[in-house]
Amino acid sequence: MYEMNPEDFPTPEADVETVSPDALKERIDAGEDVTLLDARMQSDYDEWHIDGDTVTSINVPYYEFLDEEIDDEVLDAVPDDREVTVLCAKGGASEFVAGALKARGYDVNHLENGMNGWASIYERVEVSNYDGPGALYQYQRPSSGCLGYLLVEGDEAAVVDPLRAFTDRYLDDVAELGAELTYAFDTHVHADHISGVRELHAEGVEGVIPAPAVDRGITYAEELTTAEDGDTFAVGDATVEAVYTPGHTTGMTSYLLGERLLATGDGLFIESVARPDLEEGDDGAPAAARTLYHSLQERVLALPEDTLVGGAHFSDAAEPAGDGTYTATVGQLESQMPALTMTKDEFVELILSDMPPRPANYEEIIATNLGQNAVDDDEAFSLELGPNNCAASQESLAGD
């Protein structure tokens, strides 16, 4: 069955209300019972879909609703005793399907812009547990679990791991907070999303990339600032210090923000650790895993135990802190994550034993982030849709 463009769908049989992605997210966050009918192909649904403790998600592909006489089995799969929100990739199929259902008496609406709209949600949450100079915020993208960080001190600000799709958002947020964005840092060459460091650099922000990452073939390194281990950058009265933590990639560099939170990129998450196979493949994964072990033990766990840690991603297995951010202290992670107290051999064996699928389009995304592949904004947005999959298996690494 081929995919149809939104303009190819017949006119909906009945007018249906549209629900914004933000409104749907608010309902889910509030713990309301939500029923979703996902009209995408099963393969797309299986790769990623909206989930939650109070979310009932049903997958019935749109083509099941194209015939004038819809099969009873199809209609029986759709609850008729509650409101149902229909969604698809971009909003065209869901509007048609919702119209067909409403004409048959169902209580339905449809999600504006579909999963593309869901992927446009980007929330800024203050890290209230941060007690360093200035204010620290965590950016959260629920569709993919991507996280970024914004440090604001006085009239200066820095962002870590910005996404290209939200370039204007960072500039607007910093202006709203009464500051100027002076630095944009990348922790490494990302494999799951398109970096926004170059776009921010073009807007007058000083772009910073890890010096050890340049050898991977970054084509634009001479245009930006490179950070060596131990380099510090002033943001008002706060500092950002580069802490070299290879393992996930050879260039992986964490940043200690205000001496109180370590932005670990894809090296360490609050529920898992990095996967080691995205740069050198399966053959290089064992050596990368050993390197990661030393980075975690000697660079991260060596920090004071009350130092906050924040990764570049979160998964469904992650439990947010009391302030709503996906952060935890070094001490908490060491006590809760068995992988952090294992011997090196145990650690390597564990993280290589149950690797999840590689991120969608990861080779093209890496090439784009290296500057070897040019894509426009729409292509960049499409490339990074879906789950990030940059961590090792959460099931095997997380504590009880």
Count of alpha carbons within 13 angstroms of residue 59, beta-carbon side: 13
Residue 138: beta bridge partners? 125, 149
Q: Rounded distance, CA 247 to CA 273, Å?
A: 10
- Of the candidates 24, 37, 86, 88, the residue annotated as catalytic is 88
- Stated as kind and residue range, the H or E segment containing 26 is helix 21-29
Strands 308-311 and 261-265 come out as: parallel
Q: Is residue 121 within 8 Å of 140, Cβ to Cβ?
A: no
- Clarify whether 390 is annotated catalytic: no
Tokens at 291, concatenated = 């390197």
Please give the helix or strand (H or E) that residue 193 lies within, else none: none
The one-letter code for the residue type at 320 is: P
Q: How would DSSP label each residue in 120-187?
A: T--EEEE-TT--SSSEEEEEEETTTTEEEEEEEETTEEEEES-BGGGHHHHHHHHHHTT-EEEEEE-S
Residue 38 CA to residue 115 CA, distance in Å, equals: 10
Contact 342, 350 (CB under 8 A): yes
Of 231, 226, 229, 232, nearest in space to 258 by CA:
232
Residues 6+ apart with CB under 8 A from 399: 336, 337, 338
What's the CA gap between 234 and 241, in Å, rounded? 9
| CB 383, CB 366: distance < 8 Å | no
Rounded to the nearest 10 degrees, the angle between the axes of helix 344-353 and helix 281-295 is 140
Q: How many residues appear in the chain?
A: 400
So which residues are the catalytic ones? 88
